[in-house]
Amino acid sequence: MGFSVKQFSALTFLNCHDKTKALYGEYGGYPMTAVQEPGNKLLAVCIFANAPERLGQFAETGIQQWAQQQSGISSAEYENRRITLKFSTARPNCEEHIEGLLRSLTEMLKNNDFTTCCNGCGADVYGGYYLIENLGAYYCSSCASAAESMLEEQKQEKAAMRANPIGILAGALAGGLTMALLTFILWQMDFIAAASGLAAALVMYACVKKWGGRLPIWGVVLCLAVMLGSTIFSLRYAVAFQLRGTIQEAAATLDVTQEELDDAKAVLAECTDEEIYELTEGRTRSEIMENIRVSEETLSLTEGHETTMECYKDLSELLDMELLKDWKKNYYKGLIYLLLIGMLISTCMMIALYSETNGHYKMVWLG
């Protein structure tokens, strides 16, 4: 949606379209439109003018150089006989500032012999003001009819497009499989591991776009659910797989039983600190008890955790052990990286694909 004229008193020289709130009309002898972009505070002002042949490619360069010398202009482009300036409406006194910049620009255009024209064909005839996907246009009757016909064809093509559930599922699974394979390999590499989320999102987007046809809401939800599930499962499985190897190594080197540890604790309970110090050649009770605790945790790791799936099943309990606190830290760090990068990029891409395959081009006659 655009903005209300009442909000920008300095632009009251332009007319306001009731439905879209877009502004249109002439200023300084040139037709122009003004629309506030959805979701931000940037105002897109389009001035329709044809550069003289003598300027050639320097017309765009000259306009950009003029914009760089001004303050408050976010961007400036000249294409298809349309100058598009974007201003921030958040600055104080922006209405007066914008009018001052428009006055300066139109004076420069006149001094360089820019003429008013249809920005479709360049004909110097009276045209009508249009709004196409939130960007202004100034068309003669012939160009307006051609644009309407083209947009209607695109609208019909999108309406005829059908969703392919099998293709959408295949694309989602392709992204999920990519996430699983790369996460299994890279999960301990911090920011590099996050690249698996980017790669998976790109694979899912490309496959769903190629195979899925029109992407409905349920398709977006399905893709994101597969991505989320594959992220969590693959990371847990990768941790469980490597943890199983560590447990096997610990089991091979551990040469004590739980009964022996219980006997050691019983002996410690009966001895004084001085006796322990003499028997162990200078070790304290707390040091020995810490060694016993570590040995007991190592024993508990080796019991019932001989396979990857056994470790996967009890992963939460295993990571809560003091002995595996570094593993727990790396696990959650990897999970945060993957979810932030993979899920965020996947969400943005699926929303973009939904808009691309479902949205209709809109052309509104302003006046």
Rounded Cα distance, 17 and 131, in Å: 10
Q: Give the distance from CA 140 to its chain's centroid.
A: 39
Determine if residue 272 is left, alpha or beta; phi over 0 gives left, psi from -120 to 50 gives alpha, anything else beta. beta
**How many degrees, rounded to 5, is the angle at CA 93 between CA 88 and CA 94?**
25
Beta-strand pair 128-132/23-27: unpaired
Rounded Cα distance, 76 and 85, in Å: 5
Q: What is the DSSP letter of 343?
A: I
pLDDT of residue 278: 72
pLDDT of residue 190: 57
Rounded Cα distance, 345 and 351, in Å: 10
Structure tokens at 100: 């001052």
Rounded to a whole number, what is the distance in angstroms from the first to the last CA of the chain? Answer: 17
Which residues share a beta bridge with 174?
Answer: none
Q: Is 19 exposed, middle or buried (0-12, 13-18, 19+ CB in 10 A)?
A: exposed
Q: Are 364 and 134 in contact (CB under 8 A)?
A: no
Rounded Cα distance, 56 and 43, in Å: 28
Nearest to 86 by CA among 31, 15, 33: 33
pLDDT of residue 7: 45
**Length, in residues, of the chain:** 367
Residue 111, SS3 per DSSP = helix
Q: Give the distance from CA 314 to its chain's centroid.
A: 34
Go through the domains of the chain in sequence order and give each one's CATH number: 5-157 (3.30.1460), 165-257+305-358 (no CATH)
Q: Are 133 and 1 in contact (CB under 8 A)?
A: no
H or E stretch covering 31: strand 30-36
Across the chain, which has 367 residues, the per-10-residue mean pLDDT values are 42 82 88 77 85 82 86 85 84 79 89 88 82 82 82 70 84 87 71 72 88 87 90 86 79 68 73 74 76 71 77 82 79 79 84 77 76
- Is the CA virtual torsion 174, 176, 178, 181 positive or negative? negative
One-letter amino acid for residue 314 of the chain: D
Q: Is 98 exposed, middle or buried (0-12, 13-18, 19+ CB in 10 A)?
A: buried
Rounded Cα distance, 266 and 260, in Å: 10
One-letter amino acid for residue 168 of the chain: I
176 vs 173, 201, 275, 290, CA distance in Å?
Answer: 5, 9, 61, 43
Q: Are 62 and 42 in contact (CB under 8 A)?
A: no
pLDDT digits 0-9 by tens, 210-220: 888 888 889 88
Rounded Cα distance, 48 and 276, in Å: 94
